[in-house]
Structure 1
Amino acid sequence: MDGVINIYKNTGMTSFDVVRTIKKVSGTKKVGHTGTLDPEASGVLPVCIGKGTKIIDYIMNSNKVYEVELKLGITTTTYDLEGEIVEERDPSSLNEEEILKAINSFKGEYNQIPPMFSALKQNGVRLYELARQGIEVEREGRLINIYNIEDIKINNPYLSMKVTCSKGTYIRSLCYDIGKNLGVGATMTKLKRTKTSKFSEEESININEINTDNIKNYIISMEDALDFYDKLVVLNKYSRLLINGVRVFDKRFTKDKIEVEKLYRVYDENGQFIGLGRSNHQGFKIEKLLIN
């Protein structure tokens, strides 16, 4: 039982609850999710099983799509409805043009400050542990990318939109920042992740529908889970060197055209999947060996 299951997480459960369920159903201890969804958020949560846990980072590092609703005029400690209200303002004087301008100003790269109620660590302590003690510390901003914001619906004080973003983006912080930009504050009221990497809501299986009889039907192989990376075929006489961790300098190791610093799915001439590899100016090397 090695691979990935495209799970749909329901609201009211933690991401670890999903992992615990899959461990029990699969009878496998080696299980991990690919990026935490808050308890009150729902949506796509790919779960890796067995040897599939080797590729968790490669799924986590990809782009994500969210559908989010936020409410203007309220600021909370957690940036969502789970927290205590710390400030309320009247947003009724804002017009649609002002709101749209504020939302669209966050498209592209920006330095986002994560919320205090997050699992990030500072000096070895998780931020939410400090926040629960009433301690707020200065957080370093992280460069994230909002690739697109679309399907914007404005029903002041409520706004909803679809956000495509890079890894590491906190949608709660985006809502907070939009509210701050408008001068009235905002808090996230609903969140659903509809896509992460190649895994979409349409092709997911609800966690409540997984059982011991059907779980094998939903396991996606590591090879298929990584098929968003381009394929590279290496000649057999070089494949053994790559499998043994050697960096290959000879450009004749493949007949395919390759780009520097791009990650590839690597195969030998017999069609055997070796793993993920990358080239630099010193040659080509396997970065993650995944051969059976």
Structure 2
Amino acid sequence: MNGILLVDKPLEWTSHDVVNFIRRRFRIKKVGHAGTLDPIATGLLVLFLGQSTKSIKDYENDDKEYLAVMGLGCKTFSDDGTGEVITHSIPAYIPESRIRDVFSSFVGTIEQVPPHVSAIKVNGKRSYKMALAGEIAELQPRTRTIYSLEILHYNFPYIIFSMACSRGTYVRKLCSDIGVKLNCSGYMSNLIRVRSGKFTLSDAVSIASLKSINRDDFSNFVINQPDALALRCDKKTELRRYAR
């Protein structure tokens, strides 16, 4: 079976967990994905099946769009809610106008130093493995683009926001960097990917639904590549759908 499958990745599953599930349940040898989602993140994971795995390289540079929740006053080892808390001190109330000014300063081309808890290799070693062993690697900044960064709701000390960005942008590191610029700590507490290139979360199928169908019905969820090329998405509608 060849084609593209859009999956709504559940919380705590790795991207590889989803790949293995599809391989085993529907007996498909070749399954790959374009764009990893961390276990703490949910939302759109674009899978490629069979001969379509050869096309992953054509999609892996697609820009992404997310909904995220940021917490103020806490710094964690991994820059998200799963990591060990390093410091925790709720700051004095920060006016929304100040937060909007800081958010605006990150729109455009930025130089982002990746988080130490990441899969980036340093001298052949994964950075996260080095960090867990107490060895902090010196990671070089990487040029990334933030196309849009919009605050949707502010309820101190939490900020719900949407963002569109280039491939390889770490949302949790962005939250940490925003916290630094606000003169307090910051971390990412929740993340949903709502778009990858032209594919949107509203067209994705849940793992629960996939568990309830057989191989014949599974083909109804697979998009062939000519159809994929014709897809279009309404970004604003997609964000409103998941920002409720």
Same topology, TM > 0.5: yes
The aligned counterpart of 2:238 is: none
The aligned counterpart of 1:172 is: 172
1:216 to 212, 215, 219: 219
> Within the alignment, does 1:190 sit opposite 2:193 as a pair?
no
Moved over 6 A (4+): none
**What TM-score results when the alignment is normalised by the length of structure 1?**
0.75
Q: Residues 96 and 154 of structure 2 are in contact (CA less than 8 Å); yes or no, is this contact kept in structure 1?
A: yes
The aligned counterpart of 1:19 is: 19
Q: What's the CA shift for 1:224?
A: 2.5
Taking the aligned partners of 1:66 and 1:79, their CA distance within structure 2 comes to: 17
The aligned counterpart of 1:161 is: 161
The aligned counterpart of 2:242 is: none
Taking the aligned partners of 1:104 and 1:91, their CA distance within structure 2 comes to: 21
- Counterparts of 1:84-95 in structure 2, within 5 Å, are 84-95=84-95
- Counterparts of 1:1-292 in structure 2, within 5 Å, are 1-210=1-210, 211=213, 212-227=215-230
Taking the aligned partners of 2:89 and 2:102, their CA distance within structure 1 comes to: 17
The one-letter code sitting in structure 2 at the alignment partner of 1:143 is T
Taking the aligned partners of 1:58 and 1:180, their CA distance within structure 2 comes to: 36
Structure 2 SS opposite 1:66: strand
Q: What's the CA shift for 1:24?
A: 1.2
The one-letter code sitting in structure 2 at the alignment partner of 1:5 is L
Q: Residues 92 and 157 of structure 1 are in contact (CA less than 8 Å); yes or no, is this contact kept in structure 2?
A: no
Taking the aligned partners of 1:61 and 1:119, their CA distance within structure 2 comes to: 17
Taking the aligned partners of 2:93 and 2:18, their CA distance within structure 1 comes to: 43
The one-letter code sitting in structure 1 at the alignment partner of 2:196 is T
Q: What's the CA shift for 1:131?
A: 1.2
**What TM-score results when the alignment is normalised by the length of structure 2?**
0.90
Taking the aligned partners of 2:151 and 2:17, their CA distance within structure 1 comes to: 31
Q: What's the CA shift for 1:228?
A: 6.5
Structure 1 SS opposite 2:40: coil
The one-letter code sitting in structure 2 at the alignment partner of 1:176 is S
Structure 2 SS opposite 1:8: strand
Which stretch of structure 1 is more off in the superposition, 105-114 or 85-94?
A: 85-94
Deviation per CA, 1:130-161, whole angstroms, max 9, x where unpaired? 11101111111111111001243211110110
Q: What's the CA shift for 1:57?
A: 2.0
Taking the aligned partners of 2:208 and 2:17, their CA distance within structure 1 comes to: 11
Which stretch of structure 1 is more off in the superposition, 61-70 or 146-155?
A: 146-155
Structure 1 SS opposite 2:90: coil
Structure 1 SS opposite 2:164: strand
Q: Residues 64 and 193 of structure 1 are in contact (CA less than 8 Å); yes or no, is this contact kept in structure 2?
A: yes
Structure 2 SS opposite 1:215: helix
Q: What's the CA shift for 1:81?
A: 1.1
Show structure 2 runs of 5+ residues with no match: 233-244
Q: What's the CA shift for 1:213?
A: 3.6
Q: Residues 118 and 127 of structure 1 are in contact (CA less than 8 Å); yes or no, is this contact kept in structure 2?
A: yes
Structure 2 SS opposite 1:118: coil
Structure 1 SS opposite 2:6: strand
Q: What's the CA shift for 1:89?
A: 2.9
Larger relative contact order, structure 1 or 2 (CA cutoff 8 Å, min sep 6): 2
Q: What's the CA shift for 1:223?
A: 2.4
Q: Residues 70 and 158 of structure 2 are in contact (CA less than 8 Å); yes or no, is this contact kept in structure 1?
A: yes
Deviation per CA, 1:250-292, whole angstroms, max 9, x where unpaired? xxxxxxxxxxxxxxxxxxxxxxxxxxxxxxxxxxxxxxxxxxx
Structure 2 SS opposite 1:214: helix
Residues 103 and 151 of structure 1, relative CA distance in 2, 3 Å threshold = closer
